Protein backbone atom coordinates (compact mmCIF):
# COMPACT_ATOMS: atom_id res chain seq x y z
CA UNK A 1 0.00 0.00 0.00
CA UNK A 2 1.41 3.38 -1.05
CA UNK A 3 0.20 5.95 1.46
CA UNK A 4 0.62 8.87 -0.95
CA UNK A 5 -2.10 7.35 -3.19
CA UNK A 6 -4.74 7.39 -0.46
CA UNK A 7 -7.38 10.04 0.25
CA UNK A 8 -7.79 12.16 3.37
CA UNK A 9 -10.61 10.01 4.70
CA UNK A 10 -8.69 6.76 4.06
CA UNK A 11 -5.56 8.08 5.79
CA UNK A 12 -7.64 9.40 8.68
CA UNK A 13 -8.75 5.88 9.62
CA UNK A 14 -5.22 4.49 9.55
CA UNK A 15 -3.80 7.45 11.50
CA UNK A 16 -6.52 7.43 14.16
CA UNK A 17 -6.18 3.66 14.61
CA UNK A 18 -2.41 4.25 14.95
CA UNK A 19 -1.69 1.76 12.21
CA UNK A 20 0.53 4.36 10.53
CA UNK A 21 2.30 7.56 11.61
CA UNK A 22 2.26 10.97 9.93
CA UNK A 23 5.99 10.60 9.28
CA UNK A 24 5.34 7.45 7.25
CA UNK A 25 2.78 9.24 5.09
CA UNK A 26 5.28 12.01 4.52
CA UNK A 27 8.00 9.47 3.64
CA UNK A 28 5.79 8.13 0.83
CA UNK A 29 4.93 11.66 -0.35
CA UNK A 30 8.60 12.62 -0.59
CA UNK A 31 9.45 9.32 -2.23
CA UNK A 32 6.89 10.18 -4.89
CA UNK A 33 8.16 13.76 -5.21
CA UNK A 34 11.72 12.45 -5.67
CA UNK A 35 10.47 10.02 -8.34
CA UNK A 36 8.29 12.28 -10.51
CA UNK A 37 8.74 15.96 -9.65
CA UNK A 38 11.51 16.41 -12.22
CA UNK A 39 8.95 15.42 -14.87
CA UNK A 40 5.84 17.18 -13.54
CA UNK A 41 7.40 20.31 -11.98
CA UNK A 42 4.33 21.05 -9.85
CA UNK A 43 6.19 22.78 -7.00
CA UNK A 44 8.10 26.04 -6.70
CA UNK A 45 9.21 25.41 -3.10
CA UNK A 46 9.31 22.06 -1.29
CA UNK A 47 9.26 22.51 2.50
CA UNK A 48 10.74 19.14 3.48
CA UNK A 49 12.37 20.07 6.80
CA UNK A 50 9.37 22.10 8.00
CA UNK A 51 7.06 19.25 6.95
CA UNK A 52 8.83 16.70 9.15
CA UNK A 53 8.62 19.10 12.10
CA UNK A 54 4.89 19.43 11.47
CA UNK A 55 4.65 15.63 11.27
CA UNK A 56 6.12 15.37 14.79
CA UNK A 57 3.47 17.76 16.11
CA UNK A 58 0.74 15.81 14.31
CA UNK A 59 1.95 12.54 15.80
CA UNK A 60 1.81 14.02 19.29
CA UNK A 61 -1.71 15.34 18.69
CA UNK A 62 -2.82 11.85 17.65
CA UNK A 63 -1.20 10.31 20.75
CA UNK A 64 -2.98 12.91 22.89
CA UNK A 65 -6.31 12.12 21.18
CA UNK A 66 -6.51 15.71 19.91
CA UNK A 67 -6.47 14.94 16.19
CA UNK A 68 -8.82 16.66 13.74
CA UNK A 69 -9.69 15.44 10.25
CA UNK A 70 -6.58 17.02 8.71
CA UNK A 71 -4.04 16.18 11.43
CA UNK A 72 -1.04 14.57 9.75
CA UNK A 73 -2.39 15.07 6.20
CA UNK A 74 0.17 16.42 3.66
CA UNK A 75 -1.34 19.35 1.75
CA UNK A 76 0.21 21.55 -0.95
CA UNK A 77 -0.58 25.27 -1.12
CA UNK A 78 -0.64 27.45 -4.23
CA UNK A 79 2.22 29.92 -4.12
CA UNK A 80 0.01 33.01 -3.99
CA UNK A 81 -1.09 32.38 -0.38
CA UNK A 82 1.12 33.85 2.32
CA UNK A 83 3.01 31.40 4.50
CA UNK A 84 5.01 33.05 7.26
CA UNK A 85 8.77 32.93 6.68
CA UNK A 86 8.30 30.61 3.67
CA UNK A 87 8.82 31.89 0.13
CA UNK A 88 5.63 33.19 -1.46
CA UNK A 89 6.50 34.18 -5.02
CA UNK A 90 3.26 34.16 -7.05
CA UNK A 91 5.55 32.53 -9.67
CA UNK A 92 6.90 36.01 -10.41
CA UNK A 93 10.42 37.35 -10.57
CA UNK A 94 9.17 40.47 -8.80
CA UNK A 95 8.52 38.40 -5.64
CA UNK A 96 11.30 35.84 -6.11
CA UNK A 97 12.71 36.45 -2.61
CA UNK A 98 9.57 37.43 -0.67
CA UNK A 99 9.01 35.69 2.68
CA UNK A 100 5.82 37.05 4.27
CA UNK A 101 5.93 38.15 7.91
CA UNK A 102 2.41 36.77 8.45
CA UNK A 103 0.23 33.74 7.64
CA UNK A 104 -2.87 33.68 5.44
CA UNK A 105 -6.15 32.83 7.16
CA UNK A 106 -6.63 29.60 5.19
CA UNK A 107 -3.19 28.23 6.07
CA UNK A 108 -3.65 29.36 9.67
CA UNK A 109 -6.85 27.31 9.80
CA UNK A 110 -5.10 24.32 8.27
CA UNK A 111 -2.32 24.69 10.84
CA UNK A 112 -4.89 24.67 13.61
CA UNK A 113 -6.16 21.39 12.15
CA UNK A 114 -2.63 19.93 12.25
CA UNK A 115 -1.96 19.68 8.50
CA UNK A 116 1.50 19.13 7.03
CA UNK A 117 2.64 21.63 4.37
CA UNK A 118 4.42 19.77 1.57
CA UNK A 119 5.32 22.94 -0.32
CA UNK A 120 4.17 25.84 -2.49
CA UNK A 121 2.87 24.95 -5.93
CA UNK A 122 3.50 26.53 -9.31
CA UNK A 123 1.02 28.81 -11.06
CA UNK A 124 0.66 31.26 -13.89
CA UNK A 125 2.36 34.44 -12.69
CA UNK A 126 0.03 36.27 -10.27
CA UNK A 127 -2.62 33.68 -11.23
CA UNK A 128 -2.97 35.18 -14.71
CA UNK A 129 -3.36 32.33 -17.15
CA UNK A 130 -5.03 29.05 -18.04
CA UNK A 131 -2.05 26.75 -18.61
CA UNK A 132 0.71 27.45 -16.02
CA UNK A 133 2.95 28.35 -18.96
CA UNK A 134 3.07 31.94 -17.70
CA UNK A 135 5.02 31.03 -14.56
CA UNK A 136 8.18 33.08 -14.08
CA UNK A 137 10.05 29.89 -13.09
CA UNK A 138 8.99 26.84 -15.13
CA UNK A 139 6.06 25.20 -16.90
CA UNK A 140 4.17 22.53 -14.98
CA UNK A 141 3.26 19.45 -17.02
CA UNK A 142 0.09 17.39 -17.02
CA UNK A 143 0.64 13.99 -15.30
CA UNK A 144 -1.64 12.34 -17.89
CA UNK A 145 0.56 13.53 -20.77
CA UNK A 146 3.80 15.37 -20.03
CA UNK A 147 3.62 17.17 -23.38
CA UNK A 148 0.38 18.88 -22.35
CA UNK A 149 -0.57 21.67 -19.94
CA UNK A 150 -2.18 20.96 -16.56
CA UNK A 151 -4.47 23.98 -16.91
CA UNK A 152 -4.18 27.14 -14.88
CA UNK A 153 -3.66 29.14 -12.98
CA UNK A 154 -3.65 26.51 -10.20
CA UNK A 155 -1.88 24.03 -12.49
CA UNK A 156 0.77 23.13 -9.93
CA UNK A 157 -1.83 22.30 -7.27
CA UNK A 158 -3.94 20.17 -9.65
CA UNK A 159 -0.89 18.36 -11.07
CA UNK A 160 0.51 17.63 -7.60
CA UNK A 161 -2.78 16.03 -6.53
CA UNK A 162 -3.14 14.05 -9.78
CA UNK A 163 0.47 12.82 -9.52
CA UNK A 164 0.03 11.82 -5.83
CA UNK A 165 2.74 14.29 -4.76
CA UNK A 166 0.40 15.45 -1.99
CA UNK A 167 -2.91 14.24 -0.59
CA UNK A 168 -4.82 17.48 -1.29
CA UNK A 169 -4.07 21.06 -2.26
CA UNK A 170 -5.35 24.61 -2.11
CA UNK A 171 -5.86 26.69 -5.21
CA UNK A 172 -7.38 30.06 -6.01
CA UNK A 173 -10.05 30.73 -8.62
CA UNK A 174 -10.57 34.11 -10.32
CA UNK A 175 -12.07 32.95 -13.62
CA UNK A 176 -11.81 29.17 -13.44
CA UNK A 177 -8.33 28.67 -11.99
CA UNK A 178 -9.33 25.82 -9.67
CA UNK A 179 -11.95 24.11 -11.82
CA UNK A 180 -10.25 24.19 -15.22
CA UNK A 181 -6.95 22.58 -14.04
CA UNK A 182 -8.94 20.09 -11.94
CA UNK A 183 -10.81 19.14 -15.12
CA UNK A 184 -7.64 18.84 -17.22
CA UNK A 185 -5.84 16.78 -14.54
CA UNK A 186 -8.76 14.47 -13.68
CA UNK A 187 -9.25 15.57 -10.06
CA UNK A 188 -11.92 17.42 -8.05
CA UNK A 189 -11.77 21.22 -7.74
CA UNK A 190 -14.19 23.47 -5.87
CA UNK A 191 -14.67 27.23 -6.13
CA UNK A 192 -16.76 28.20 -3.09
CA UNK A 193 -19.24 31.08 -3.03
CA UNK A 194 -17.47 34.46 -3.03
CA UNK A 195 -17.13 35.35 0.65
CA UNK A 196 -17.36 31.76 1.93
CA UNK A 197 -13.56 31.54 2.44
CA UNK A 198 -11.34 34.35 3.70
CA UNK A 199 -9.01 35.98 1.18
CA UNK A 200 -6.75 37.43 3.89
CA UNK A 201 -3.19 36.55 2.90
CA UNK A 202 -4.12 35.68 -0.67
CA UNK A 203 -2.03 37.88 -2.96
CA UNK A 204 -4.68 39.79 -4.89
CA UNK A 205 -5.24 39.50 -8.63
CA UNK A 206 -8.86 40.70 -8.98
CA UNK A 207 -10.31 41.25 -5.52
CA UNK A 208 -14.00 41.04 -6.45
CA UNK A 209 -13.48 37.70 -8.20
CA UNK A 210 -10.71 35.81 -6.33
CA UNK A 211 -11.73 32.90 -4.11
CA UNK A 212 -9.71 30.12 -2.45
CA UNK A 213 -10.82 26.50 -2.63
CA UNK A 214 -9.66 22.87 -2.44
CA UNK A 215 -8.31 20.52 -5.10
CA UNK A 216 -8.65 16.88 -4.04
CA UNK A 217 -8.82 13.26 -5.20
CA UNK A 218 -12.52 12.90 -4.51
CA UNK A 219 -15.65 14.79 -3.44
CA UNK A 220 -15.48 13.68 0.20
CA UNK A 221 -12.02 15.20 0.58
CA UNK A 222 -13.21 18.47 -0.99
CA UNK A 223 -15.97 18.67 1.64
CA UNK A 224 -13.47 17.96 4.43
CA UNK A 225 -11.12 20.67 3.14
CA UNK A 226 -13.92 23.23 2.78
CA UNK A 227 -15.03 22.49 6.36
CA UNK A 228 -11.52 23.38 7.49
CA UNK A 229 -11.05 26.67 5.62
CA UNK A 230 -14.57 28.17 5.38
CA UNK A 231 -16.06 30.72 7.76
CA UNK A 232 -16.17 34.39 8.57
CA UNK A 233 -12.89 36.24 9.09
CA UNK A 234 -12.82 39.78 10.51
CA UNK A 235 -9.51 40.34 8.66
CA UNK A 236 -11.34 40.14 5.32
CA UNK A 237 -14.10 42.69 4.78
CA UNK A 238 -15.58 40.58 1.97
CA UNK A 239 -15.82 37.47 4.16
CA UNK A 240 -19.48 36.64 4.76
CA UNK A 241 -20.73 36.34 8.37
CA UNK A 242 -22.70 33.20 7.53
CA UNK A 243 -22.71 29.94 9.48
CA UNK A 244 -20.79 27.07 7.90
CA UNK A 245 -22.55 23.70 7.82
CA UNK A 246 -20.73 20.38 7.95
CA UNK A 247 -20.50 19.74 4.22
CA UNK A 248 -19.78 16.04 4.69
CA UNK A 249 -23.26 15.48 6.15
CA UNK A 250 -25.00 15.80 2.77
CA UNK A 251 -22.79 13.21 1.08
CA UNK A 252 -24.86 10.16 0.26
CA UNK A 253 -28.20 11.94 0.49
CA UNK A 254 -30.91 11.19 -2.07
CA UNK A 255 -30.84 13.27 -5.28
CA UNK A 256 -34.14 12.01 -6.63
CA UNK A 257 -36.24 14.97 -7.81
CA UNK A 258 -33.29 17.40 -7.84
CA UNK A 259 -33.72 19.69 -10.85
CA UNK A 260 -30.54 20.20 -12.87
CA UNK A 261 -30.42 23.07 -15.35
CA UNK A 262 -28.71 22.43 -18.69
CA UNK A 263 -27.88 25.83 -20.25
CA UNK A 264 -28.12 25.74 -24.03
CA UNK A 265 -25.39 28.40 -24.30
CA UNK A 266 -22.80 25.99 -22.83
CA UNK A 267 -23.01 23.40 -25.61
CA UNK A 268 -21.41 25.43 -28.34
CA UNK A 269 -19.99 24.90 -31.79
CA UNK A 270 -16.27 24.23 -31.63
CA UNK A 271 -16.38 22.32 -28.36
CA UNK A 272 -14.36 19.09 -28.39
CA UNK A 273 -16.73 16.23 -29.33
CA UNK A 274 -15.26 13.88 -26.72
CA UNK A 275 -15.90 16.51 -24.06
CA UNK A 276 -19.50 17.02 -25.14
CA UNK A 277 -20.13 13.26 -25.31
CA UNK A 278 -18.71 12.73 -21.81
CA UNK A 279 -20.77 15.55 -20.32
CA UNK A 280 -24.00 14.43 -22.00
CA UNK A 281 -23.37 10.88 -20.75
CA UNK A 282 -22.89 12.29 -17.24
CA UNK A 283 -26.23 14.11 -17.49
CA UNK A 284 -27.91 10.84 -18.52
CA UNK A 285 -26.30 9.11 -15.53
CA UNK A 286 -27.63 11.82 -13.20
CA UNK A 287 -31.07 11.37 -14.75
CA UNK A 288 -30.88 7.63 -14.09
CA UNK A 289 -30.13 8.43 -10.45
CA UNK A 290 -33.37 10.43 -10.19
CA UNK A 291 -32.29 13.96 -11.06
CA UNK A 292 -34.52 15.88 -13.46
CA UNK A 293 -32.77 17.69 -16.35
CA UNK A 294 -34.32 21.00 -17.40
CA UNK A 295 -33.15 23.03 -20.39
CA UNK A 296 -32.45 26.63 -19.30
CA UNK A 297 -30.98 29.76 -20.81
CA UNK A 298 -28.24 32.02 -19.47
CA UNK A 299 -28.63 34.60 -22.25
CA UNK A 300 -25.71 36.89 -21.41
CA UNK A 301 -23.10 34.09 -21.42
CA UNK A 302 -21.69 35.35 -24.71
CA UNK A 303 -20.57 38.58 -23.04
CA UNK A 304 -18.83 36.88 -20.09
CA UNK A 305 -15.29 36.63 -21.50
CA UNK A 306 -15.21 40.28 -22.63
CA UNK A 307 -16.71 41.45 -19.33
CA UNK A 308 -14.26 39.39 -17.29
CA UNK A 309 -11.20 40.66 -19.17
CA UNK A 310 -12.24 44.26 -18.59
CA UNK A 311 -13.05 43.90 -14.88
CA UNK A 312 -10.27 41.48 -13.93
CA UNK A 313 -7.56 43.46 -15.72
CA UNK A 314 -8.82 46.72 -14.23
CA UNK A 315 -8.57 45.28 -10.72
CA UNK A 316 -5.17 43.77 -11.55
CA UNK A 317 -3.91 47.16 -12.71
CA UNK A 318 -4.86 48.62 -9.34
CA UNK A 319 -3.67 45.68 -7.21
CA UNK A 320 -0.30 45.28 -8.88
CA UNK A 321 0.59 48.96 -8.60
CA UNK A 322 2.13 48.14 -5.19
CA UNK A 323 5.10 46.33 -6.77
CA UNK A 324 7.48 49.20 -7.31
CA UNK A 325 10.88 47.97 -6.11
CA UNK A 326 10.77 50.10 -2.96
CA UNK A 327 9.01 48.17 -0.21
CA UNK A 328 9.84 44.51 -0.94
CA UNK A 329 10.58 42.06 -3.72
CA UNK A 330 12.66 42.58 -6.84
CA UNK A 331 14.37 45.90 -7.57
CA UNK A 332 16.21 46.69 -10.77
CA UNK A 333 19.92 47.36 -10.58
CA UNK A 334 21.07 50.58 -12.18
CA UNK A 335 23.74 49.98 -14.80
CA UNK A 336 24.87 53.60 -14.87
CA UNK A 337 24.46 54.39 -11.18
CA UNK A 338 22.40 57.45 -12.23
CA UNK A 339 18.95 55.89 -12.28
CA UNK A 340 16.30 58.28 -10.90
CA UNK A 341 13.17 57.17 -9.04
CA UNK A 342 10.89 57.05 -12.09
CA UNK A 343 13.45 55.06 -14.07
CA UNK A 344 13.79 52.64 -11.15
CA UNK A 345 10.00 52.12 -11.09
CA UNK A 346 9.88 51.55 -14.84
CA UNK A 347 12.88 49.22 -14.94
CA UNK A 348 11.71 47.22 -11.92
CA UNK A 349 8.24 46.64 -13.33
CA UNK A 350 9.37 45.96 -16.92
CA UNK A 351 12.02 43.47 -15.76
CA UNK A 352 10.07 41.99 -12.83
CA UNK A 353 6.74 41.22 -14.53
CA UNK A 354 6.26 38.67 -17.32
CA UNK A 355 4.58 39.29 -20.67
CA UNK A 356 1.07 38.21 -19.71
CA UNK A 357 1.04 40.21 -16.48
CA UNK A 358 2.22 43.33 -18.31
CA UNK A 359 -0.43 42.76 -20.99
CA UNK A 360 -3.19 42.63 -18.38
CA UNK A 361 -1.90 45.64 -16.44
CA UNK A 362 -1.92 47.67 -19.65
CA UNK A 363 -5.42 46.48 -20.60
CA UNK A 364 -6.72 47.36 -17.14
CA UNK A 365 -5.00 50.72 -16.98
CA UNK A 366 -6.49 51.61 -20.36
CA UNK A 367 -9.99 50.55 -19.27
CA UNK A 368 -9.72 52.73 -16.15
CA UNK A 369 -8.19 55.76 -17.86
CA UNK A 370 -9.94 59.10 -18.26
CA UNK A 371 -12.36 59.06 -21.15
CA UNK A 372 -12.62 55.26 -21.25
CA UNK A 373 -13.80 54.39 -17.73
CA UNK A 374 -17.51 54.64 -18.55
CA UNK A 375 -17.17 52.93 -21.91
CA UNK A 376 -15.32 49.93 -20.49
CA UNK A 377 -15.20 49.49 -16.71
CA UNK A 378 -18.66 50.90 -15.97
CA UNK A 379 -20.19 49.00 -18.89
CA UNK A 380 -18.45 45.83 -17.69
CA UNK A 381 -19.98 46.20 -14.24
CA UNK A 382 -23.42 46.67 -15.78
CA UNK A 383 -23.09 43.51 -17.88
CA UNK A 384 -21.78 41.66 -14.81
CA UNK A 385 -25.08 42.51 -13.09
CA UNK A 386 -26.99 41.04 -16.05
CA UNK A 387 -24.93 37.83 -15.87
CA UNK A 388 -25.65 37.51 -12.16
CA UNK A 389 -29.36 38.08 -12.85
CA UNK A 390 -29.26 35.23 -15.41
CA UNK A 391 -28.20 32.87 -12.63
CA UNK A 392 -30.74 34.30 -10.17
CA UNK A 393 -33.52 33.71 -12.69
CA UNK A 394 -32.33 30.21 -13.55
CA UNK A 395 -32.20 29.17 -9.91
CA UNK A 396 -35.90 30.01 -9.56
CA UNK A 397 -36.58 26.91 -11.69
CA UNK A 398 -33.67 24.55 -10.94
CA UNK A 399 -31.59 23.48 -7.93
CA UNK A 400 -28.20 23.27 -9.66
CA UNK A 401 -26.77 23.89 -13.13
CA UNK A 402 -24.62 21.33 -14.95
CA UNK A 403 -22.15 22.21 -17.74
CA UNK A 404 -18.79 21.16 -19.17
CA UNK A 405 -15.90 22.61 -17.15
CA UNK A 406 -13.70 23.29 -20.17
CA UNK A 407 -14.46 23.22 -23.92
CA UNK A 408 -11.49 20.90 -24.51
CA UNK A 409 -9.23 18.47 -22.72
CA UNK A 410 -5.60 19.40 -21.98
CA UNK A 411 -3.89 21.02 -24.96
CA UNK A 412 -0.24 20.78 -25.98
CA UNK A 413 2.33 22.99 -24.27
CA UNK A 414 2.92 26.00 -26.52
CA UNK A 415 -0.22 25.38 -28.59
CA UNK A 416 -1.98 28.58 -27.47
CA UNK A 417 0.97 30.50 -26.02
CA UNK A 418 1.16 32.95 -28.93
CA UNK A 419 -2.61 33.52 -29.17
CA UNK A 420 -3.88 35.19 -25.98
CA UNK A 421 -7.50 35.24 -27.18
CA UNK A 422 -7.58 31.46 -27.73
CA UNK A 423 -6.05 31.02 -24.27
CA UNK A 424 -8.68 33.32 -22.73
CA UNK A 425 -11.46 31.25 -24.35
CA UNK A 426 -10.25 28.21 -22.36
CA UNK A 427 -12.22 29.63 -19.43
CA UNK A 428 -15.44 30.34 -21.34
CA UNK A 429 -17.51 27.94 -19.18
CA UNK A 430 -16.04 28.95 -15.82
CA UNK A 431 -15.81 32.76 -15.96
CA UNK A 432 -19.54 33.47 -15.49
CA UNK A 433 -19.48 31.67 -12.13
CA UNK A 434 -16.91 34.14 -10.78
CA UNK A 435 -18.76 37.14 -12.19
CA UNK A 436 -21.94 35.95 -10.43
CA UNK A 437 -20.12 34.94 -7.23
CA UNK A 438 -21.80 31.52 -7.07
CA UNK A 439 -20.13 28.21 -6.08
CA UNK A 440 -19.13 25.50 -8.56
CA UNK A 441 -17.28 22.21 -8.55
CA UNK A 442 -15.50 20.26 -11.29
CA UNK A 443 -15.48 16.46 -11.06
CA UNK A 444 -14.09 13.83 -13.46
CA UNK A 445 -16.73 12.54 -15.89
CA UNK A 446 -14.84 10.73 -18.62
CA UNK A 447 -11.82 10.57 -20.91
CA UNK A 448 -11.13 11.50 -24.50
CA UNK A 449 -9.85 9.09 -27.15
CA UNK A 450 -6.34 10.30 -26.22
CA UNK A 451 -6.89 9.20 -22.60
CA UNK A 452 -7.18 12.77 -21.31
CA UNK A 453 -9.59 13.60 -18.45
CA UNK A 454 -12.86 15.49 -18.95
CA UNK A 455 -14.53 17.52 -16.20
CA UNK A 456 -18.20 18.07 -15.33
CA UNK A 457 -19.05 21.42 -13.73
CA UNK A 458 -21.89 21.64 -11.19
CA UNK A 459 -22.97 25.18 -10.24
CA UNK A 460 -25.09 26.08 -7.20
CA UNK A 461 -26.92 29.00 -5.63
CA UNK A 462 -25.05 31.46 -3.42
CA UNK A 463 -23.91 29.68 -0.23
CA UNK A 464 -25.50 26.40 -1.34
CA UNK A 465 -22.36 24.30 -1.67
CA UNK A 466 -24.38 21.50 -0.05
CA UNK A 467 -26.48 20.89 -3.17
CA UNK A 468 -23.45 20.68 -5.45
CA UNK A 469 -21.66 18.36 -3.02
CA UNK A 470 -24.75 16.13 -2.84
CA UNK A 471 -25.05 15.85 -6.63
CA UNK A 472 -21.30 15.55 -7.21
CA UNK A 473 -20.99 12.75 -4.65
CA UNK A 474 -23.96 10.83 -6.09
CA UNK A 475 -22.43 10.96 -9.57
CA UNK A 476 -18.94 10.10 -8.34
CA UNK A 477 -20.12 7.05 -6.41
CA UNK A 478 -22.01 5.72 -9.43
CA UNK A 479 -18.94 5.92 -11.70
CA UNK A 480 -15.24 5.09 -11.50
CA UNK A 481 -13.65 8.05 -13.30
CA UNK A 482 -12.22 9.46 -10.06
CA UNK A 483 -10.38 6.19 -9.36
CA UNK A 484 -8.23 6.35 -12.48
CA UNK A 485 -4.66 7.57 -12.03
CA UNK A 486 -2.01 8.61 -14.56
CA UNK A 487 0.93 6.26 -15.06
CA UNK A 488 4.01 8.41 -14.74
**Which of these ranges, 24-38, 292-306, 363-377, 419-433, has the smallest mean pLDDT?**
419-433
- Mean pLDDT for 171-181 is 98
Residue among 42, 92, 135, 177 flagged as catalytic: 177
pLDDT tens-digit readout, 362-404: 999 999 998 899 999 999 999 999 999 999 999 999 999 999 9
- Mean pLDDT for 174-178 is 97
Q: Is 39 a catalytic site residue?
A: no
Residue among 78, 191, 217, 416 flagged as catalytic: 78
- Mean pLDDT for 278-288 is 98
Query: In the prediction, which pLDDT does 335 show?
Result: 62
The answer to whether 211 and 223 have CB atoms below 8 angstroms apart is no
pLDDT value at 339 more than 80? no
Structural domain that includes position 110: 1-488
Higher pLDDT, 422 or 78: 78
C-alpha–C-alpha distance, residues 352 and 332, integer Å: 8
- Mean pLDDT for 118-137 is 97
User: Taking all residues of the chain, what is their mean pLDDT, rounded to a whole number?
Assistant: 96
Q: How confident is the model at residue 422 (pLDDT cuts 50, 70, 90)?
A: confident
Q: Is 78 a catalytic site residue?
A: yes
pLDDT value at 6 more than 70? yes
Q: Is 9 a catalytic site residue?
A: no
Query: In the prediction, which pLDDT does 242 show?
Result: 96
Q: How confident is the model at residue 218 (pLDDT cuts 50, 70, 90)?
A: very high
- Mean pLDDT for 242-252 is 97
Q: Domain containing 274 — which CATH number?
A: 3.90.1300.10
The answer to whether 207 and 112 have CB atoms below 8 angstroms apart is no
pLDDT tens-digit readout, 63-108: 999 999 999 999 999 999 999 999 999 999 999 999 999 999 999 9
- Mean pLDDT for 198-203 is 98
Rounded (5°) CA angle 71-72-78: 95
Q: How confident is the model at residue 488 (pLDDT cuts 50, 70, 90)?
A: confident
**Does the pTM of the predicted model rise above 0.95?**
yes
Query: In the prediction, which pLDDT does 425 show?
Result: 80
Higher pLDDT, 344 or 248: 248
Residue among 131, 153, 198, 467 flagged as catalytic: 153
How many domains, in total, are found in the chain? 1
Q: How confident is the model at residue 336 (pLDDT cuts 50, 70, 90)?
A: low
Query: In the prediction, which pLDDT does 26 show?
Result: 98
Amino acid sequence: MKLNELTISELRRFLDNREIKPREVLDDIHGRIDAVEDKVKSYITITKDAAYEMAKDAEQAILDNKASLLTGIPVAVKDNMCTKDILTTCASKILHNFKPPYESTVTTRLKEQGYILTGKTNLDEFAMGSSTENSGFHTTRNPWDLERVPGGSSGGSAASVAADECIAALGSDTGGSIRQPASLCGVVGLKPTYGRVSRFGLVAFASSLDQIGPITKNVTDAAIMLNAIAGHDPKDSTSAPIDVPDFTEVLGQEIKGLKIGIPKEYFIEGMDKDVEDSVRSAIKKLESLGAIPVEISLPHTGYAVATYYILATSEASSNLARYDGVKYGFRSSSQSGKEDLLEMYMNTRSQGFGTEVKRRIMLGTYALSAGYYEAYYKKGQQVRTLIKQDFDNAFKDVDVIVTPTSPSAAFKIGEKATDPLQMYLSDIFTISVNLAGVPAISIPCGFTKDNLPVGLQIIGRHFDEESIFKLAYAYEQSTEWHLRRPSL
